[in-house]
Amino acid sequence: MAAATTGPGSLGLVETRTVTLFTRERPLALDSGATLGPVEVAYETYGTLDAAGANCVFVCHALTGDAHAAGHHGDPTRPGWWDTLIGPRKPVDTDRYYVVCANLLGGCTGTTGPSSTDPATGRQYGLRFPLFTVADLVRVHRALLAHLGVERPLAAIGGSVGGMQVLQWAIDHPQELRSGIAVCATARLSAQNIAFSAVAREAILTDPDFCGGDYYDGPSRPDRGLALARRIAHITYLSEESMRQKFGRRIQDAGAPRMGFDVDFEVESYLRHQGETFLRRFDANSYLYLSRVMDYFDPFGDPAVLARLHAIETRFLAVSFDTDWRFDTAHSREIVRRLAAARVPVSFREIASPHGHDSFLLELPAYHRTVAAFLERQAAQAGVA
Amino acid sequence: MRPDLDLVAGWVPRSARVLDLGCGDGALLEHLARERGCETLGIDLDGDALDASIARGVPVVQADIDRGLPDLGDDSFDLVVLSQTLQATHRPALVLREMMRVGRRAVVSFPNFGHWRLRAGLVLGGRMPSSRVLPDSWHETRNIHLCTLRDFEELAGAERMRIAERVLLGLDGRPRDGTSTRRRPNLLAAGAAYLLECDGRGA
């Protein structure tokens, strides 16, 4: 070991760029048969692509993520959503890897989505935006990589819906990804998962300000519905234990409970805050589309997919967290079971963490060690310096 | 690599599909993949062991083999290895049964509790025996299901496993096949490695 080791650092200031990957003339062909154009994609890159084009790690974000995965946009105290994992000398080491993260299709932070203008009408798409699939999300990722000159990524990595994209990518293009890391992901939502998503969507759909999705020009937006949707979902991201540790039954304003229906407990205040801050960065229609994508995802339910799983040359790592009840360990095990049965090289580790589904965003040493060890090995195998 | 693993490697045909239960740092599987072109999968419960295997490029899945191998299909491996792990399982018979379900052949190695030193420790010392192979004291050891060669062979028979080969091991873990050891294996061998086949299914 070197005498002096330098600890992990920050990427510092980074910026989101935008590129038009599909046009009206050359549109994106979706699974549904619909076409979409133009499609703009917001993305960030960190590090440098090596001469062989072999060191690219593509980061797939989860339901409400964006292209800004690491570094900061001017305020170092507000880093990107996966800054714990990505940066110089971090597990996804930007000194070694060329890291790319893009806002998802249907999103609302720079990539074309329901809040973008429909060139056919000159108005925002709203619910006229076409439904899309996880495979469509991957289509756009691949178009971005083609634009950036990457043919064969070293790895694709993602948590939750991000992991679904990694799995779909390997299924649809079995020789493209050298490796895939799916953290607290699932190959299909359970009835309970869908139930939570359905109630969250209903909060948006029944908000009087939703106006059938055409709220962009109106005086108000479906803020109550969207905030409620976020709160419902947020409960599923935390574990019982982490809620008990964070809030217990503490009363918000230190004094005695007010004994009424206003916010009284700390946990209520926290959830209200979560809902409100979410409004500043998310669009209700995007929430509907992106959460619906997850419900329909079920690649192993398709016999044609099962028949071609054995062709996958991607080496997989699946990671779960023991207190995650959104996509618990059984979900990851199912992915592992299917891949192992098809003789796809797959590793799996369940990490002990009290933080539930949100664990994948946190700095947990065991989790980070495993991801780093896996990536390191893939890099060595691919001849990355 | 541990000498007993060298021995196991000698029983693995080229390009075989090999499952290693309690694979530790993955040294055996890495060797088999590199030297014999094997397709491998390791199973372990320990986080550091998993990371070590992953760092070697050995696919490894975290699982508790005492719960069986529900995620693995019937006959999906040519060979299933259980090296120096049987004595630490809670349900040895279940583990053996699962090995024969997911694989065609099995390799099992373990320390022999019938070895004279261990017998002497108990008879003469009046204490639970310990040795280089079984160093921990009785209340700390993970080795909860210790057996002698004779005990194991009886269980293997009851589980309809045929012993295709048996190699006796010395205290250093290397094969030990002196005349006296061969004559009194249960007393003189410090351990053994078995190559087992399912009775009535053929190799």
Given an 8 Å threshold on Cβ–Cβ distance, is A340 in contact with B55? no
- A266-281 and A223-237 helices, crossing angle to 10°: 120
Overall residue count recorded for chain A in this entry = 385
Average pLDDT over residues B156-184: 92
Secondary structure in 3-state letters for chain A: CCCCCCCCCCCCECCCEEEEEECCCCCEECCCCCEECCEEEEEEEECCCCCCCCCEEEEECCCCCCCCCCCECCCCCCECCCCCCEECCCCEECCCCEEEEECCCCCCCCCCCCCCEECCCCEECHHHCCCCCHHHHHHHHHHHHHHHCCCCCCEEEEECHHHHHHHHHHHHCCCCCCEEEEECCCCCCCHHHHHHHHHHHHHHHCCCCCHHHCCCCCCCCCHHHHHHHHHHHHHHHCCHHHHHHHCCCCECCCCCCCCCCCCCEHHHHHHHHHHHHHHHHCCHHHHHHHHHHHHHCCHHHCHHHHHHHHHCCCEEEEEEECCCCCCCHHHHHHHHHHHHHCCCCEEEEEECCCCHHHHHHCCCHHHHHHHHHHHHHHHHHCCCC
DSSP state of B87: G
Q: In the CATH scheme, what architecture does the domain A17-189+297-381 have?
A: 3-Layer(aba) Sandwich (3.40)
Average pLDDT over residues B160-188: 92
pLDDT (0 to 100) of residue B58:
98
Measured between beta carbons, the chain A residues lying within 8 angstroms of B50 are 347, 349, 370
Q: For residue A368, give the chain B residue with the closest CA.
A: B51
> What is the identity of the amino acid at A307?
A
A269 has catalytic annotation = no
Higher-confidence residue of B128 and A348: namely A348
Given an 8 Å threshold on Cβ–Cβ distance, is A376 in contact with B50? no
Average pLDDT over residues B74-103: 96
**Per-residue tokens: A382:** 């691919």
Q: In the CATH scheme, what architecture does the domain B3-113+146-198 have?
A: 3-Layer(aba) Sandwich (3.40)
Q: What is the pLDDT of residues B10-43, one digit of tens each?
A: 899 999 999 999 999 999 999 999 999 999 999 9
Tell me yes or no: is domain A193-291 CATH 3.40.80.10: no
pLDDT (0 to 100) of residue A103:
98
pLDDT (0 to 100) of residue B128:
85
pLDDT (0 to 100) of residue B200:
63
CA–CA distance, A99 with B141 (Å, rounded to integer): 46
Nearest to A230 by CA among A200, A207, A254, A206: A200
Point out the residue among B17, B39, B51 whose CB comes nearest to the CB of A370: B51
CA–CA distance, A385 with A1 (Å, rounded to integer): 18
pTM: 0.95
Q: Is pLDDT of B203 > 70?
A: no
A147 has catalytic annotation = no
Residue A194: CB partners within 8 Å, gap ≥ 6? Answer: A295
Minimal CA separation from B74 to chain A, in Å: 10
For chain B, what are the domain ranges? 3-113+146-198
Minimal CA separation from B106 to chain A, in Å: 19
Point out the residue among B17, B47, B59 whose CB comes nearest to the CB of A366: B47
pLDDT (0 to 100) of residue A1:
40
Q: What is the pLDDT of residues B92-117, one digit of tens each?
A: 999 999 999 999 999 999 999 999 98
> What is the identity of the amino acid at B12?
V
CA distance readout (Å), B143 to B106, B126, B140? 21, 19, 9
% of chain B surpassing 70 pLDDT: 98
Residue A222: CB partners within 8 Å, gap ≥ 6? Answer: A204, A207, A209, A210, A211, A215, A284
For chain A, what are the domain ranges? 17-189+297-381, 193-291
Relative to beta strand A346-351, strand B17-21 is unpaired
pLDDT (0 to 100) of residue A6:
67
pLDDT (0 to 100) of residue B130:
78
Ordered per-residue pLDDT tens for chain A, 385 residues: 444 456 788 999 999 999 999 999 999 999 999 999 999 999 999 999 999 999 999 999 999 999 999 999 999 999 999 999 999 999 999 999 999 999 999 999 999 999 999 999 999 999 999 999 999 999 999 999 999 999 999 999 999 999 999 999 999 999 999 999 999 999 999 999 999 999 999 999 999 999 999 999 999 999 999 999 999 999 999 999 999 999 998 888 767 777 888 888 999 999 999 999 999 999 999 999 999 999 999 999 999 999 999 999 999 999 999 999 999 999 999 999 999 999 999 999 999 999 999 999 999 999 999 999 999 999 999 999 8
